[in-house]
C-alpha cells in the first residue's frame, strides 16, 4: 500500500505529547536477551516496523517471543537457541539487527549474520565490529553477503576503536559478557543507549563498568551466572528532539512528557540559541514554545555528547526560515543531506558543498509534494511542512514508520493539521473527478 502524510502548515501547536521507548535501545536489548538461558521481559517497547523485524530475526534463531502491543512489552525466552544464522531477508532491512552477531558469538561461539541494511545515509562499515571480535579470539570472514564468525572460546582483550562506533561497541560488549577474563573497550561510544544496554546486561548478571564513558570494562561471567530479567527501556531522545523541533517550527507551544533532558543538553542549547523558549516543568517534563522568527546558528554533528546526527535534518528544516545564514557540517555520514533536494522543492535556499550545507533563511516555505528519503529526513520534512504555507504531501512513509510510534496521532495531539491517506485510493478519486464520474 502506498501512503502519504498530508499536513497543512502554519498552524501553531497547543497540547502535549508523551515520548515512547527508544528504538535505538530496545532493539539492542532484544538482541542481548539471546545471551541468557532464560526469559527476559522488556517494557516500554514502541510499536515500530523495526521492532517487528528484530522479532523475526531472533525468532529465526530459536528464541520464543511474545509481543504484547497493548502493554508495550516483549517476552523473550532464549533458553534453547537452535540456529546461529541471521538471515538476509530481515537483517538487510535494518542495520540494528546486526548486533545479534556479538550475542550469538558470545553464547554459541559461532554466528553467521547477513551484512546490515537500513536507511541509505552513507557507508556504515562493519570492520570495527570484526576487528573487535578478532581481538577477542574470533576468526571472521565475509562470504556471500554474510559475516561468519567462529571461536573455540572468546578471551578478554583490549579493543580500541579508531573512532567511537555505537554498533561495534554494542557488539563487542555483548560478546565480552561470556568471554574468559577481562575486556576493555577504549574509545567506546558514550550514547545513553550504550548505558541502557549495559544496565540491562548487568540486571542479567553481567559485570560491566564505565558505560557512558570512553572506556568500558567487562569481566566475563559463566552462562549459568546469567538470569532472565525485567527491564524498562529509556525514553527516545531523538523522538523528543523531533517534537521539540516540530513545536518550534509551528510557532506554537507544547508539553513533552517522558523525556530525559540531560540526553539532549547540546541540542537544547542550540534551540535556545535560535530563540526558542524551553523550560523544565519537572525532571521528565518539558515545555517548549516559540512565537518569532528564529536566529541562525552553526553546528557540527559529532558522536555523543555532541550534536546528534539523527537531529541534523530537523535542525536544518528549522534554519530554512531563520533570519540569516547558517552552516551545518555533517561529520559522520556522507549521504545525510539527501533531504536537501526535497527542501529545495519547498523553496529552501541551501547550498551543499561536500560535508557542509549553507542555509540562507527565506521568508517562508511553500507546501508541495515531497518524499522521505530516510527515517530522519522524513521527520525533517514534517518539520518543514509545519512551517510551510499551504499543504504538503509527504510520501514514502515506511521510513517514518521505522522510528516513530503513532506519529500521526501524536501530531494530532499537538493540534497539527495532519492526515495519513492511501495514495492509491486518492489517485483513483482524482481520476474519477477528472472523468466526471465521481467515485
Catalytic residues: 119
Q: Is 269 exposed, middle or buried (0-12, 13-18, 19+ CB in 10 A)?
A: middle
Helix (H) or strand (E) holding 112: strand 110-114
CA 121 to CA 124: how far, in whole Å? 9
Q: How far apart are the first and last CA of the chain?
A: 19
- Contact by Cβ (8 Å): 19, 236: yes
Q: Please name the residues in contact with 214: beta carbons below 8 A apart, sequence gap of 6 or more.
A: 164, 186, 187, 188, 190
> Three-state DSSP class for 191?
coil
Q: 3-class secondary structure for 117-156? A: CCCCCCCCCCHHHHHHHHHCCCEEEEECCEEEEECCCCEC
Write b or e for each residue in 380-396: b if 16 or more Cβ atoms lie within 10 A of its Cβ, otherwise e: bbbbbbbbbeebbbbbb
Q: By the 8 A CB rule, do 311 and 271 touch?
A: no
CA-CA distance, 373 to 341, in Å (whole number)? 10
Q: Can you point out the beta strands (E) in 349-438?
A: 349-353, 356-360, 369-371, 391-395, 417-422
Sign of CA dihedral 142, 146, 151, 153: positive
Burial of 10 (0-12, 13-18, 19+ CB in 10 A): middle
Q: φ and ψ at 161, to 5 degrees? A: -85, 140
Collect all residues with Cβ–Cβ distance below 8 Å to 26 and sequence separation of at least 6: 42, 44, 45, 46, 51, 233
Amino acid at each position: 500500500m502506498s501512503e502519504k502524510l498530508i499536513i497543512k502548515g502554519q498552524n501553531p501547536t497547543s497540547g502535549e505529547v508523551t515520548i515512547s521507548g527508544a528504538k535505538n535501545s530496545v532493539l539492542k536489548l532484544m538482541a542481548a536477551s539471546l545471551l541468557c538461558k532464560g526469559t527476559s521481559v522488556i517494557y516500554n517497547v514502541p510499536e515500530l516496523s523495526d521492532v517487528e523485524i528484530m522479532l523475526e530475526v531472533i525468532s529465526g534463531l530459536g528464541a520464543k517471543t511474545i509481543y504484547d502491543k497493548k502493554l508495550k512489552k516483549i517476552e523473550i525466552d532464549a533458553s534453547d537457541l537452535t540456529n546461529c544464522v541471521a538471515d538476509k531477508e530481515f537483517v538487510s532491512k535494518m542495520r540494528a539487527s546486526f548486533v545479534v552477531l556479538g550475542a550469538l558469538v558470545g553464547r554459541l561461539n559461532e554466528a553467521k549474520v547477513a551484512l546490515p541494511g537500513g536507511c541509505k545515509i552513507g557507508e556504515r562499515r562493519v570492520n570495527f565490529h570484526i576487528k573487535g571480535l578478532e581481538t577477542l579470539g574470533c576468526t571472521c570472514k565475509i562470504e556471500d553477503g554474510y559475516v561468519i564468525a567462529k571461536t573455540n572460546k572468546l578471551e578478554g582483550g583490549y579493543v580500541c576503536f579508531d573512532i567511537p562506533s555505537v554498533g561495534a561497541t554494542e557488539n563487542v560488549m555483548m560478546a565480552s559478557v561470556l568471554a574468559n577474563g577481562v575486556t576493555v573497550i577504549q574509545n567506546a561510544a558514550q550514547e545513553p543507549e550504550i548505558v541502557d544496554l549495559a544496565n540491562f546486561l548487568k540486571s542479567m548478571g553481567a559485570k560491566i563498568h564505565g558505560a557512558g564513558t570512553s572506556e568500558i570494562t567487562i569481566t566475563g561471567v559463566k552462562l549459568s551466572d546469567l538470569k532472565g530479567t525485567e527491564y524498562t527501556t529509556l525514553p527516545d531522545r531523538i523522538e523528543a528532539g523531533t517534537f521539540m523541533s516540530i513545536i518550534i517550527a509551528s510557532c506554537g507551544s507544547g508539553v513533552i512528557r517522558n523525556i530525559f533532558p540531560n540526553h539532549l543538553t547540546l541540542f537544547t542549547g542550540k534551540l535556545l540559541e535560535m530563540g526558542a523558549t524551553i523550560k523544565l516543568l519537572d525532571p521528565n517534563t518539558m515545555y517548549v514554545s516559540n512565537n518569532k522568527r528564529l536566529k541562525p546558528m552553526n553546528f557540527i554533528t559529532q558522536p555523543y555528547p555532541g550534536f546528534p546526527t539523527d537531529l541534523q535534518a530537523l535542525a536544518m528544516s528549522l534554519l530554512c526560515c531563520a533570519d540569516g545564514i547558517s552552516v551545518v557540517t555533517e561529520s559522520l555520514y556522507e549521504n545525510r543531506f539527501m533531504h536537501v533536494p526535497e527542501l529545495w522543492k519547498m523553496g529552501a535556499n541551501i547550498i551543499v558543498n561536500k560535508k557542509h550545507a549553507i542555509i540562507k533563511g527565506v521568508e517562508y516555505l511553500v507546501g508541495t509534494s515531497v518524499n522521505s528519503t530516510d527515517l530522519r529526513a522524513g521527520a525533517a520534512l514534517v518539520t518543514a511542512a509545519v512551517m510551510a504555507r499551504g499543504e504538503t504531501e509527504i510520501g514514502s512513509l515506511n521510513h517514518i514508520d521505522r522510528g516513530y510510534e503513532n506519529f500521526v496521532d501524536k501530531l494530532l495531539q499537538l493540534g497539527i493539521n495532519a492526515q495519513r491517506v492511501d495514495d492509491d485510493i486518492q489517485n483513483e478519486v482524482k481520476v474519477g473527478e477528472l472523468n466526471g464520474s465521481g467515485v
